[in-house]
């Protein structure tokens, strides 16, 4: 007779599998980072890109118009 797993047991197993998969993804990202950076640097030097050329593709500024949560800050009128 085979045992039937309850829905909560199946959910627990699925959560553990998802956590393991997320951890593996992070490990693979770290492993490929250096290699990918070498490729990017090679392409930059091959094509002679400058900082100005890449400015629109890179995120160079902080969140000056938004709060840490991403919501816009309310407008505050300057006192005269």
Distance (Å, whole) CA 63 – CA 75 = 16
Beta strands in 5-57 (DSSP E): none
> Higher pLDDT residue, 1 or 47?
47
The predicted model scores a pTM of 0.45
**Per-residue pLDDT at 35 exceeds 80:** yes
> What values do phi and psi take at 27, rounded to 5?
-65, -40
In order, the DSSP letters of 27-51 are: HHHHHHHHHHHHHHHHHHHHHT--H
Residue 40: the pLDDT is 93
> Higher pLDDT residue, 2 or 26?
26
Distance (Å, whole) CA 59 – CA 25 = 23
Distance (Å, whole) CA 49 – CA 37 = 15
């Amino acid at each position: 007779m085979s045992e039937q797993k309850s829905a909560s047991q199946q959910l627990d197993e699925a959560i553990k599998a998802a956590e393991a998969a997320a951890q593996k993804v992070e490990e693979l990202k770290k492993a490929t980072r250096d290699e990918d950076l070498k490729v990017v640097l090679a392409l930059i030097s091959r094509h002679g890109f400058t900082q100005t050329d890449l400015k629109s593709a890179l995120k160079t500024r902080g969140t000056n118009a938004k709060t840490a949560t991403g919501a816009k800050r309310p407008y505050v009128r300057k006192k005269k």
